[in-house]
Amino acid sequence: MNTSSVASCSGRGEQLLPSTSSHQWTHCPRRFMSRRSVRRAAGVEELLRRSTTNPQRPSHLKPASVAAAALSNNVSAFKPEPAVEQRSAQGGGGNNQRSATDKVGVLLLNLGGPDTLDDVQPFLYNLFADPDIIRLPGAAKYLQPLLAYVLSNARAPKSAEGYASIGGGSPLRSITQKQADALTVSLREKGLNANVYVGMRYWHPYTEEALEQIKRDNVGRLVILPLYPQFSISTSGSSLRLLEKILKEDQQLQGLRHTVIPSWYQRKGYVDAMTDLICQELTKFSDPQSVELFFSAHGVPKSYVEEAGDPYKEEMEECIALIVAEVKRRGYNNHHTLAYQSRVGPVEWLQPYTDDSIKELGANGTKSMLAVPVSFVSEHIETLEEIDMEYRELAEESGIENWGRVPALNTNQLFIDDLADAVLEALPYVGMVAKPSDALVPQGELEALLQAYDRERRALPSPVVVWQWGWTKSAETWNGRLAMVALFVIVT
């Protein structure tokens, strides 16, 4: 390979990403904004304005416009003004009183995964019991625990085989803890001493466990950071719904000042980190320019996007546009494909599907492919088993001779440092609703964020619908069929 014609994969610096027919990107010091996002943001401006003027909001919380004005170009130098209110430290009083802003916490939210093979069935139960994953009609909601029990027991043996093939359990817990530890160090180096917590949606350490520790540590300001680059109802949304419920029900947490970073796919550090990894893997091919860049994202039901207003698809497409533009800026002009994996059940999910796309590319003569897991920042079963084993085997069967896969970001230093910058930028918004940003979901206080989003969408359709029959060809076909059979048995 003639490396003189290819820009360095470690290249940095300010740049204006080139315009395309569907995206025109403008430059700012830390973010990129698409004109499509600007139009979408304008649509929620009034919703956010109403949220910031809600008469039930505490009077000491400043409006978002004031907070936005407080942000300087050097965000790390911003020092939030101290809160005037005082509260007693847990278990003490008098001289133990401290400012509510003394302790800063960061809560990382993720899916979770079974640590051992014995954990697979209860993990699946928690997953299927979530109404944001399988939503039953109103009259049948009471059947959800029974349905979750039937599905988890039926699916556990097959799922356990997958986890056995990657070492006997999910590495997600240990990787996420390493990310939390690395983020703690990065924040400290940037001048902020903060406790970083891990809260999983469906397995230990549960979100509830993380919040109990946050209470014990007497955290006064909390930045909530889902480890999903793009927002979706079924990932970040599900975790935030649970968090909202706990914050409302727990009297000690009701006064916790917080803010949410709902998505961060557009951040320059994230884009650069992904591009670095892609460039590094491309150099391993004998002819890097001929390699198909195959972006595989986690799928969601199509109805979530078209009927419920889930911004996931739009955020994903903008994310890919940013990464591909940066890859091209560094000298690689590879063709790319975006496809969606892990679909379940008989209803239509976002297309094109990963398995169908691999077969089509192979039939059209593609010989080299680099898989890029774009919606995952940690290695887990969907990268280690589904992509590395199932899709690689499918690619070879389809005539693709040279296969590669970009590793997940895990504790990539550029990625971790960018998350630290995101936390620092979010701190001025603690306890208030932010103005619309370049993300399609507004940053801000949890309850107001969800209220603003809810006004823009209808009730979620179910990803598993008993009256729409038909079979898919994914690796999870039997999971969907079992869901249909189990639901039919329960209802009838």
* Residue 62, pLDDT score: 27
* Residue 50, pLDDT score: 34
| Beta carbons within 8 Å of 70's beta carbon, 6+ residues apart | 78, 428
Q: Which of 168, 62, 53 is nearest to 113 (CA)?
A: 168
**pTM of the predicted model over 0.85:** no
Backbone angles phi, psi at 326, to 5 degrees: -70, -40
- pLDDT tops 50 at residue 78: no
| Beta carbons within 8 Å of 313's beta carbon, 6+ residues apart | 300, 305, 350
**H helices present in 141-206, as ranges:** 144-165, 172-189
Give the model confidence (pLDDT) of 122-137 as tens digits: 999 999 998 877 777 7
* CA atoms of 400 and 393, how far apart (whole Å): 10
Long-range contacts: 250-253, Cβ < 8 Å, 24+?
250/211, 250/215, 252/215, 253/211, 253/214, 253/215
- CB contact at 8 A, 409 and 273: yes
Long-range contacts: 53-59, Cβ < 8 Å, 24+?
54/448, 58/431
Query: What does the block give as tokens for 381?
Result: 């079963």
* Residue 52, pLDDT score: 35
**H helices present in 344-467, as ranges:** 354-363, 381, 392-397, 413-426, 446-454
- Alpha carbon 250 to chain centroid, angstroms: 26
Q: Which residue is associated with the tokens 């709902």? A: 262
296 or 342, greater pLDDT? 296
User: Could you say which DSSP state residue 6 is in?
Assistant: S
- pLDDT tops 70 at residue 326: yes
Q: Which residue is associated with the tokens 């992904």? A: 274
| Beta carbons within 8 Å of 21's beta carbon, 6+ residues apart | none
Give the model confidence (pLDDT) of 33-45 as tens digits: 333 444 344 333 3
Range of lowest pLDDT (148-157, 317-326, 441-450): 441-450
- pLDDT tops 60 at residue 193: yes
* CA atoms of 423 and 417, how far apart (whole Å): 10
* CA atoms of 443 and 29, how far apart (whole Å): 18
Query: What does the block give as tokens for 102?
Result: 């003394």
- pLDDT tops 90 at residue 478: no
Query: Which amino acid is located at 450 in the chain?
Result: L
Cis-peptide, bond into residue 63, ω within 30° of zero: no
- pLDDT tops 80 at residue 319: yes
- pLDDT tops 60 at residue 51: no
Q: Which of 410, 317, 327 is nearest to 370 (CA)?
A: 327
